[in-house]
Amino acid sequence: MPSEKENTPLHISIDKDDAARHDSPKSGGTPRSSTGWDGKLRVEKKAELANPEALSDPEYSDEEQVLPGETLEADEDLLDDYPSDTEEIDCVHARVSSIPALRLERFKAVTRLCLRQNSITEIEGFSCLAATLKELDLYDNLIAHIRGLGDLTNLTSLDLSFNKIKHIKKLDPLVNLTDIYFVQNKISTIENLDSLTKLRNLELGANRIREIQNLDNLTGLEELWLGKNKITEIKGLDALKNLKILSIQSNRIRQISGLDSLTSLEELYISHNALSSLSGLENVRGLRVLDVSSNQIPNITGLKNLDNLEEFWASYNQISDFAEVESELKDKEKLTTVYFEGNPLQLKSPALYRNKVRLMLPQVMQIDASKLSLIHNMIILY
């Protein structure tokens, strides 16, 4: 049994093994899991997908592969032995199906509650935590409807990723939210977010969204993640003057547009679309990171105004002209990283490609996956 320690924040962490010891499973089912993009625990630059076919197939779904997990009985006493002044509770992959069964009313100081990877179908039983709860994580459950959150007005972070939600609703009272994660649901419309004016980060990747809309009130938004949807046009962003990161990869976009008002934009991820040019970036002068990989771009004209560019990712396009690369990028003093692998200029002369780029762009320290060092005037790849 856990013991209380005076003057030390208390933290409960229960995983599937703890739950198994506490309540032996009654069936031999395989624990439910999801593969794909975890918007909250983001891997730097690019995550390596376990299901790469999802990028090329807009109708892809892995729901058929999801197996039911073992669940806790309704009278389970999983948390009963833990101190009432616990501040953080983690019940990850613990076979929880009923939130009321956890008897959370015992806990008077909980600020963070994580119930990831369980079998929860209904959001309920949280009102007793309204005075203290700031972070709620319900990632990877079986939730189809948003409800039961209205009393949690102190909440700053809400993660409902990897569920079965079709509509964003009933979040109006949660005016202190700064971070919302809806990755991998069934959402088709961005809606009902007008009251969340403190929002800084909105993650809607891997849904069914066709249009960027209803964001005008979110003027404080700094990060917007819309990868792997069905969006055909960049629009509806004019009010987002504070937006620093826009991720819209794996959609159906044919041209870059709608960015002129984004004066604070620093990172743009627009890989895996159908772009044929870089036109439309002229006024996004603060851009530091640009990822246009896996498109149909034949040349890189359009970068002249991007003096702050530090990283340029353009792998797997149709770029073939070294002279053009030099002309567009040689004056970018802050440029440290370029990716051109999979383009004709790399495929035609793979043995000479990196040295050519290095000589043209001496300020660059990384070409594709290789970092460069200049020692005794010799180029060394490691």
Using the predicted structure, report yes or no on whether residue 2 has a pLDDT greater than 70.
Answer: no
Asked if pLDDT for residue 25 goes beyond 50, the answer is no
Give the whole-angstrom CA distance, residue 161 versus residue 37. Answer: 10
Q: Pick the closest to residue 314 from 290, 334, 333 (CA basis).
A: 290
pLDDT at residue 87, rounded to an integer: 97
Q: Is the pLDDT of residue 231 over 70?
A: yes
CATH T-level topology, domain 1-32+67-164: 3.80.10
Instruction: Summarize pLDDT for 260-277 with one digit per residue, the tens.
Output: 999 999 999 999 999 999
Mean pLDDT score, 226-249:
98
Average pLDDT over residues 125-131: 97
pLDDT band at residue 11 using 50, 70 and 90 as cut-offs: confident
Q: What is the pLDDT of residues 281-308, one digit of tens each?
A: 999 999 999 999 999 999 999 999 999 9
Q: Is the dihedral of CA 132, 137, 138, 144 positive or negative?
A: positive
* pLDDT at residue number 81: 85
pLDDT given for residue 178 in this prediction: 99
pLDDT computed for residue 226 by the predictor: 99
Residue 119 pLDDT > 60: yes
pLDDT of 76 strictly over 80: no
Q: In the predicted model, is pLDDT for residue 365 greater than 80?
A: yes
Q: Please provide the average confidence, as pLDDT, over all residues in the chain.
A: 86
- pLDDT confidence of 154, banded at 50, 70, 90? very high
Share of the chain above pLDDT 70, in %: 79
Average pLDDT over residues 222-245: 98
Domain boundaries, the chain: 1-32+67-164
% of the chain residues with pLDDT over 90: 74
